[in-house]
A and B are shown apart, each in its own frame.
Chain A
Amino acid sequence: MKEAFVMVGFLEITLVIFMQWQVYLKKIVTTFSLSSYAISIFLFVDGAVLNNTNLLVLSALTAAVRGFFIPSFIRKKFRKEDYLEREIKSVVPTAMSVVLSLFFVVVGYIVYHATLYNSVGLPGGSIPIALLFQGIFLIMSRNNAFVQLIGYMVMENSLFLFGGYLFPELPLVIEGGILLDLNSSGSNRNSYDFRHYYET
């Protein structure tokens, strides 16, 4: 399971870097949806191996809300307004932002080894923290409401990995997860309004 965790974790990290690289929203959304499914499958297998219902519920939530519902909602909006697809301005130059995203992965590694490593003991535990930083950075580096929402959901994914894999016995994991999903669905709606006003 450890190897699978490292594989999935680095897949996630590279996918976020890919999102950071892309200019077209559609590709970013598809990439994000893929990364959610990857996490969902991992959590499902892990839950089945450990016989842990928490993980199974988290896996289902990830696949349904962040793998399917929100990406398809965003894609549906695109079909009507094709010109929204390309993001025009970004705050940080793209090449710079890719390297900075990498930098945050390193920061996550250092933070993890300075704090949790001694008590958790898993060398791969730095991955969710790195993803968390990458998500924050994705939000900061873009001006587009949908990309910011995706950045937020990347953070959420990483939290599910963090809480679900490293601390499966943590209380309130599911409640917190449902709440976060509610929040992102709500902001999804809001981001649409926001874009709508932005264009008119």
Chain B
Amino acid sequence: MLYLLNGLQLVYVVFLSPLIIGIFIKLTEKFESKKGPSIFQPYYDLYKLFHKQSVVPKTASAIFQIVPYVTFSMYLILTLVLPIITAFPLSFGPIVDFIGGGLIFGAIGVLKKIASLDSRSNYSHLGTSRTSSIGALSEPIIILIFITFGVISHTNNPYVVNNIMQTSSQWYFSLVHWFVVFAFFMALLIETGKLPIESHSNNEFGMIDQAIEMEYSGSELAFMKWGGYIKQFLLMSIFLNDFLIPFWVPMKIGLGSVLIYSFVHLLKMLSLVIVFAVIQSTVSKYKLFKNFEYVAVAFTFAFLAILVYFTTGGSL
């Protein structure tokens, strides 16, 4: 049974993540009164890229070619250890907790940066330095949020956190939780490269993350892109399942409830995507140096959550 659910979750995430991105792109275009591409456009893109020849820079070493496959498989591992459509641990669940998941995300980031440095392209280097300098400030936010949740639930296990949030209305309605939600939402916008931080155009002034994959082509680029979709899907799922709306996730093993929930989860994701699209079309992009102010505010919220916890009488 559990193995079946493992497979189900893997397929669910890997094959639905491009769809969510497609819906997002469609919605933002709609808000701008344009027709926009089909919501299946990311699938077409991937299909096209898999059928193209890949070109590798002369100066690049073997790392450059390996990294897309390694990072993609790391995303697959992450998929198996996070509460996406189940609130009970799947067979790989005990491998990592929140911090461990954060470490895998970090490792992926490092690998990508190394590969892009390896390509010796100026644009890739620019993207690496930008990602590093923002990441150096945004990582502590994520860590702080995990610590706060650790303080609340006395564990760092994402499944346990979800169960506590589902069952205890005292925690769900506490000020601490909402500060954490707000901080994580701000961090989410950074991590998924949404508007006030990053605009996805071909203008090098705005690009941060996508400059890293500048030199890739063919199936390597497809894997990079697909990994990016999975990353966004995972982060949004964590935000929904552990922070904002932890409800309805099945806590007992059962195929029917999981299947029903996977549709509910899609609806949850859809609502979050609508929120993102609204933000995307109302907020204008920050100048690169103003991003740090945004990061500082997000950090402040994450830290205030801990302070609220102590002020309302909590203790370690």
Q: Do chains A and B touch in the complex (CB under 8 A)?
A: yes
Give A contacts to B, CB under 8 Å. 3, 6-7, 9-10, 13-14, 17-18, 21, 94-96, 98-99, 101-102, 105-106, 109, 123-124, 126-127
Residues of A within 8 A of B299 (CB): 99, 102
Chain B residues with CB below 8 A from A95, complex form: 292-293, 295-296
Known A-B contacts A98-B293, A102-B300; the reply to A123 vs B311 at CB < 8 A is yes
Jot down 22 A-B pairs with beta carbons below 8 A, ordered by A: A6-B311, A10-B175, A10-B304, A10-B308, A17-B297, A17-B300, A21-B293, A94-B290, A94-B293, A95-B293, A96-B296, A98-B296, A99-B300, A102-B299, A102-B300, A102-B303, A105-B307, A106-B303, A109-B307, A123-B310, A123-B312, A126-B311
Query: Is chain A's interface secondary structure helix, strand, loop, or mixed overall?
Result: helix
CA of A123 to CA of B308 in the docked complex: distance in angstroms? 10
B184 at the interface (CB under 8 A from A): no
Cα A18 to Cα B301 with chains together (Å): 11
User: B256 an interface residue at 8 Å Cβ cutoff?
Assistant: no
B94 at the interface (CB under 8 A from A): no
Smallest Cβ distance from A145 to chain B, in angstroms?
Answer: 23
How far apart are B250's CB and chain A's nearest CB, in angstroms? 33
Minimum distance in angstroms from B298 CB to a CB of chain A? 10
Q: Which of B290, B293, B310 contacts A109 (CB 8 A)?
A: B310
Complex formed: what's the CA distance from A193 to B39 in Å? 58
Q: Are A98 and B297 in contact (CB under 8 A)?
A: yes
Chain A hits for B290, CB < 8 A: 94
Q: Give the residues from 173 to 196 in chain B that come closer than 8 angstroms, CB to CB, to chain A.
A: 175, 179
- Collect the chain B residues with CB atoms within 8 Å of residue A13's CB: 304
Q: Is B7 an interface residue (CB 8 A)?
A: no
CA distance A105 to B300 in the complex (A): 10
CB proximity of B157 to chain A, nearest CB, Å: 28
Q: Which positions 264-316 of chain B face chain A at CB distance < 8 Å? A: 290, 292-293, 295-297, 299-301, 303-304, 307-308, 310-313
A100–B227 Cα distance when bound, in Å, is 37
Residues of chain B touching chain A, judged by Cβ–Cβ distance below 8 Å, are: 175, 179, 290, 292-293, 295-297, 299-301, 303-304, 307-308, 310-313
Q: In whole angstroms, what is the CA distance A7 to B178 when docked?
A: 11
Task: Give, as a whole number of angstroms, the nearest-CB distance from B77 to chain A.
Answer: 35
**Residues from chain A with Cβ under 8 Å of B303 in the complex:** 102, 106
Cα A101 to Cα B307 with chains together (Å): 14
List, in ascending order, chain A residues with CB within 8 A of B293's CB: 21, 94-95, 98
Closest 4 CB pairs of A and B: A98-B296, A95-B296, A95-B292, A95-B293
Q: With contacts A6-B308, A105-B307, A109-B311 known, what are 15 further pairs, Cβ within 8 A?
A: A3-B312, A6-B311, A7-B175, A14-B304, A21-B293, A21-B297, A95-B293, A98-B296, A102-B300, A102-B303, A106-B303, A106-B307, A109-B307, A123-B310, A123-B312
Q: Is the CB of B296 within 8 A of A99?
A: yes
B292: shortest Cβ distance to chain A, in Å? 4
Q: Which chain A residues lie closer than 8 Å to B311 at the CB level? A: 6, 9-10, 109, 123-124, 126-127
Question: Which of chain A's residues has its CB closest to B174's CB?
Answer: A3
Docked complex Cα distance between A101 and B300 (Å) = 9
B299, B300, B308, most chain A CB atoms within 10 A: B300
C-alpha gap A109/B301 in the complex (Å): 16
Q: How far is the CB of A112 from chain B (nearest CB, A)?
A: 10
State the Cβ distance, A19 to closest chain B Cβ, in Å: 12
**Contact call A14/B301, Cβ cutoff below 8 A:** yes
**A1→B314 CA distance, assembly (Å):** 18
Distance of A6 Cα from B176 Cα, bound (Å): 11
Residues of chain A contacted by B312 (CB below 8 angstroms) = 3, 6, 123-124
Please name the residue on chain A nearest to B292 by beta carbon. A95
Rounded to whole angstroms, the CA-CA distance of A13 and B81 in the bound complex is 37
List chain A residues, Cβ under 8 A from B175.
6-7, 10
CB distance B304 to A102 under 8 Å? yes
Cα distance A123–B296 when bound, in Å?
26
Shortest distance in angstroms between B275's beta carbon and chain A's nearest beta carbon?
20
Alpha-carbon distance between A163 and B231 when the two chains are bound, in angstroms: 50
A31 to chain B, nearest CB (A): 13
Output the least CB separation between A20 and chain B (Å).
9
CB neighbours of A102 from chain B (8 A): 299-300, 303-304
Q: Specify the chain B residue showing the minimal Cβ separation from A106.
A: B307
Given the complex, which residues of A lie within 8 Å of B292, measured CB to CB?
95
Expressed in whole angstroms, the Cα–Cα distance for A92 and B299 within the complex equals 18
- Residues of A contacting B301 in the complex (Cβ-Cβ under 8 angstroms): 14
Residues of A within 8 A of B307 (CB): 105-106, 109
Q: Name the distance in Å between A138's Cβ and chain B's nearest Cβ.
A: 14
| Cβ contacts under 8 Å, A106 to chain B | 303, 307
